[in-house]
């Protein structure tokens, strides 16, 4: 159950989050070569579940509040929480956000990335590149004493300057041995507003950036969120911890 209480994680807990974050990053890396025309989103889901189990972890999304699959696969106009299925076949020029959250020894590693399927138009590439930079700019605001509003303001300023919009209906969130907890981390906002950041706070930053309007429509399945104008949406996500002198990204892929 989500509360307003922000929990400061211990060093032991942060190390658990590092382990979960590293596995989440590895899972995305494992799935990346599969993202090509002709592959179904169900195939991505089933491989993610197989790989997660093989690494002694669990898929947090599976059966979470009734969600039926192990990952979220959000294609083109789907903003988030797309449900993998056998009839959804990736095509050249599509974009797909894959959102994974393995649980390792009770702790959640939550990360997502938008992949381009095959070759995409320049405007599509721009949306994906801007969204990734929005995440980078949001993370760069994180340090002790900063405010949550600083994160959203940096993201919103950049996205809107590039001609895109920022989704309001879904936000980043605290995460630990609980999937979703305080604080909420909006990807829009005002500098100097919101909760003050303190060392040991762990949360996700996961901007959803739209080609057109930021307005959202929910599909009948109760999960899939799409852009109201059916234009494209992209998303990138990392789990981070506030450190004594800045920020550590817990879901970065390890360098070979």
Is residue 256 one of the residues assigned to a domain? no
pLDDT, position 158: 98
Q: What is the average pLDDT value for the chain, to the nearest integer?
A: 97
Phi-psi region of 93 (alpha: psi -120 to 50; beta: other; left: phi over 0): left
Q: What per-residue confidence (pLDDT) applies to 2?
A: 52
pLDDT the model gives residue 253: 87
Domain that holds residue 117: 11-249
Instruction: Give the per-residue pLDDT at 185.
Output: 98
pLDDT bracket for residue 254 (50, 70, 90): confident
Is residue 81 annotated as involved in ligand binding? yes
The answer on whether 245 is annotated among ligand-binding residues is no
Judge whether 3 lies within some domain. no
Q: Does the residue 4 lie in any domain?
A: no
Residue 175 falls within a domain, yes or no?
yes
Decide if 207 contacts 157 (C-beta within 8 A): no
What is the C-alpha separation between 201 and 241, in angstroms, rounded?
A: 6
Confidence class for position 4, pLDDT limits 50, 70, 90: confident
Q: Is residue 255 part of a domain?
A: no
* Strands laid side by side in the 225-227 sheet: 78-80, 225-227, 216-218
Domain containing 86 — which CATH number? 3.90.230.10
- Known binding residue 173? Answer is yes
30 is in an annotated binding site: no
Lowest mean pLDDT among 1-10, 70-79, 96-105, 239-248: 1-10
Decide if pLDDT at 256 tops 60.
Answer: no
Q: Is 32 annotated as a binding residue?
A: no
3-state secondary structure (DSSP) of residue 204 = strand
pLDDT band at 228 (very low <50, low <70, confident <90, very high): very high
CB distance 186 to 177 below 8 Å: no
Q: Are 203 and 187 in contact (CB under 8 A)?
A: no
Whether residue 4 is annotated as binding a ligand: the answer is no
Q: Which of 1-5, 30-34, 223-227 has the lowest mean pLDDT?
A: 1-5
Whether the Cβ atoms of residue 132 and residue 236 lie closer than 8 Å to each other: yes
Report the pLDDT averaged over residues 51-79: 98
pLDDT tens column, 115-138:
999 999 999 999 999 999 999 999
Element (H, E) at 127: helix 122-140
Residue 2 within any structural domain of the chain = no
pLDDT by residue (tens digit) across 136-170?
999 999 999 999 999 999 999 999 999 999 999 99
CA–CA distance from 203 to each of 4, 14, 246, 248 (Å)? 13, 11, 14, 11
CA angle 225, 217, 214 (to 5 degrees): 90
Q: Is residue 57 part of a domain?
A: yes
- Positive or negative, the CA dihedral 252, 65, 171, 214 is positive
pLDDT of 58 above 70: yes
Q: What is the pLDDT at residue 61?
A: 98
The number of domains in the chain is: 1
| Within-domain flag for 127 | yes
Percent of the chain with pLDDT over 70: 98
Instruction: Confirm or deny that 238 is annotated as ligand binding.
Output: no
């Amino acid at each position: 159950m989500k509360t307003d209480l922000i929990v400061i994680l211990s060093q032991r807990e942060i190390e658990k989050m590092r382990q979960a974050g590293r596995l989440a990053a590895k899972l995305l890396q494992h799935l990346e070569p599969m993202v090509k025309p002709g592959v179904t989103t169900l195939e991505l889901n089933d491989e993610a579940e197989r790989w997660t189990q093989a690494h002694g972890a669990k898929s947090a999304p599976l059966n979470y509040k009734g969600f039926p699959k192990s990952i979220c696969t959000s294609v083109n106009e789907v903003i988030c929480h797309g449900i993998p299925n056998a009839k959804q076949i990736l095509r050249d020029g599509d974009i797909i956000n894959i959102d994974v959250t393995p649980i390792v020894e009770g702790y959640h590693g939550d990360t997502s990335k938008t992949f381009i399927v095959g070759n995409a138009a320049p405007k599509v590439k721009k949306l994906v590149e801007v969204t990734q930079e929005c995440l980078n700019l949001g993370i760069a605001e994180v340090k002790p004493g900063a405010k949550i509003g600083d994160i959203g303001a940096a993201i919103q300023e950049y996205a809107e300057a590039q001609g895109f919009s920022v989704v309001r209906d879904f936000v980043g969130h605290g995460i630990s041995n609980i999937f979703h907890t305080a604080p909420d981390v909006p990807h829009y906002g005002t500098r100097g507003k919101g909760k003050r950041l303190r060392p040991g706070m762990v949360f996700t930053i996961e901007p959803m950036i739209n080609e057109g309007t930021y307005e959202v429509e929910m599909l009948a399945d109760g999960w899939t969120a799409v852009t109201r104008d059916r234009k494209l949406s992209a998303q990138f996500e990392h789990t981070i911890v506030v450190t004594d002198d800045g920020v550590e990204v817990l879901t970065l892929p390890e360098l070979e």
